[in-house]
Chains A and B, each alone.
Chain A
Amino acid sequence: MDRSSLNNLLLGLSRLADDVPMGGKNYVEIAWDYYIERAFNMNIKDKFKPASNNALDLCNAWIETMDKEGLLDKNNYQLSNRGESVDIQVDKQNCTYYEYCSTAKEEGLPLTCPRMLGFRWIVTNQGGRQYQLEIEDFVDAKPCSGTIYPGERIKQILCRDGDNLCVAGERAIVLSTHAFGILVKTIYDYAPHLLDRVLYESTYYSSLVEYEKVKSYFNNPRETVEHLLNVVQRLGNIRYEIAEFDNLNKRAVIKAYGSYMAEIFVNNELSTSPKTSCASGRGRLAAYFTKAWDEDMVCEEMKCEAFGDDYCEFILLPKYL
Chain B
Amino acid sequence: MRNEKMGFFGIHGIDCMIGTGLSYGSQIMIKGTSGVGKSVLASQFVKETLACRDNCIYICCDQSPGEMRESLKQYGVHPLPYEERGRLVFVDAYSLEPTGKNYFSSEDGLEKYLALEKEVIDHMVNGSSTRIVVDSLSTLFLGRDNQEIMEFHRYRLKLLKRAGIIAMDLMVDEVMEESMFKLSAHLYDVIINMYYAGSTERPIRALHMGKMKSGKFDSSQLFYTIDPNIGLIIMQNLAS
Provided the pairs A191-B237, A275-B51, A275-B53 are in contact, do residues A302 and B81 lie with their beta carbons within 8 angstroms? yes
A197 interface residue, CB < 8 Å from B?
yes
Q: Tell me the bound Cα distance from A197 to B21 in angstroms.
A: 24
Q: Tell me the bound Cα distance from A259 to B122 in angstroms.
A: 34
Chain A residues contacting B227 (CB-CB under 8 Å) are: 193
Provided the pairs A193-B12, A276-B51, A319-B78 are in contact, do residues A302 and B5 lie with their beta carbons within 8 angstroms? no
Q: Say how far B181's CB is from chain A's closest CB, in angstroms.
A: 29
Closest chain A residue to B12 by CB distance?
Answer: A192
A108 interface residue, CB < 8 Å from B?
no
A1 interface residue, CB < 8 Å from B?
no
Q: Say how far A299's CB is from chain B's closest CB, in angstroms.
A: 8
**CB-CB contacts below 8 Å: A272-321 with B:** 272-276, 298, 300, 302, 307, 315, 317, 319, 321
**CB-CB contacts below 8 Å: A186-204 with B:** 190-194, 196-197, 200
Please determine whether A193 and B230 come into contact, CB atoms closer than 8 angstroms: yes
A269 interface residue, CB < 8 Å from B?
yes
Please determine whether A300 and B230 come into contact, CB atoms closer than 8 angstroms: no
Of the candidates B8, B78, B229, B234, which one forms a contact with A273 in the assembled complex, judged by CB atoms under 8 Å apart? B8
Closest chain B residue to A188 by CB distance?
Answer: B12
Provided the pairs A272-B15, A273-B21, A275-B53 are in contact, do residues A300 and B1 lie with their beta carbons within 8 angstroms? no
**CB-CB contacts below 8 Å: A169-213 with B:** 190-194, 196-197, 200
Please determine whether A300 and B78 come into contact, CB atoms closer than 8 angstroms: yes
Provided the pairs A196-B76, A302-B85 are in contact, do residues A273 and B233 lie with their beta carbons within 8 angstroms? no
Closest chain A residue to B227 by CB distance?
Answer: A193
Interface size on B, residues (CB 8 A): 30
Please determine whether B81 and A275 come into contact, CB atoms closer than 8 angstroms: no
Chain A residues contacting B21 (CB-CB under 8 Å) are: 272-273
Q: Tell me the bound Cα distance from A289 to B11 in angstroms.
A: 30
Please determine whether B52 and A273 come into contact, CB atoms closer than 8 angstroms: yes
Best-buried of B21, B81, B85 by chain A (most CB within 10 Å): B81
Q: Say how far A318's CB is from chain B's closest CB, in angstroms.
A: 9
Closest chain A residue to B8 by CB distance?
Answer: A272
Chain B residues contacting A302 (CB-CB under 8 Å) are: 81-82, 85
Closest chain B residue to A307 by CB distance?
Answer: B53
Of the candidates A196, A272, A274, A321, which one forms a contact with B80 in the assembled complex, judged by CB atoms under 8 Å apart? A321
Chain A residues contacting B15 (CB-CB under 8 Å) are: 272
Provided the pairs A273-B8, A317-B80 are in contact, do residues A197 and B53 lie with their beta carbons within 8 angstroms? no
Q: Say how far A42's CB is from chain B's closest CB, in angstroms.
A: 60
B167 interface residue, CB < 8 Å from A?
no
B205 interface residue, CB < 8 Å from A?
no
Provided the pairs A192-B237, A193-B230, A269-B1 are in contact, do residues A300 and B52 lie with their beta carbons within 8 angstroms? no
Best-buried of A269, A273, A276 by chain B (most CB within 10 Å): A273
B126 interface residue, CB < 8 Å from A?
no
Q: Say how far B11's CB is from chain A's closest CB, in angstroms.
A: 8
Q: Tell me the bound Cα distance from A196 to B11 in angstroms.
A: 12
**Residues 196-216 of chain B, each 1 if its beta carbon lies under 8 Å from chain A, else 0:** 000000000000000000000
Closest chain B residue to A314 by CB distance?
Answer: B81
**Given A274-B52, A300-B81, 17 other A-B contacts at CB below 8 A?**
A190-B240, A191-B238, A192-B237, A193-B11, A193-B12, A193-B233, A193-B237, A273-B1, A273-B5, A274-B1, A275-B52, A275-B53, A298-B78, A300-B77, A300-B78, A307-B53, A317-B78
A-B contact pairs, 16 of them (CB 8 A): A191-B238, A192-B237, A193-B227, A193-B233, A193-B237, A197-B229, A272-B21, A273-B21, A274-B1, A275-B48, A275-B53, A300-B77, A300-B78, A300-B82, A302-B82, A321-B80
Chain A residues in the interface with B (C-beta under 8 A): 190-194, 196-197, 200, 266, 269, 272-276, 298, 300, 302, 307, 315, 317, 319, 321
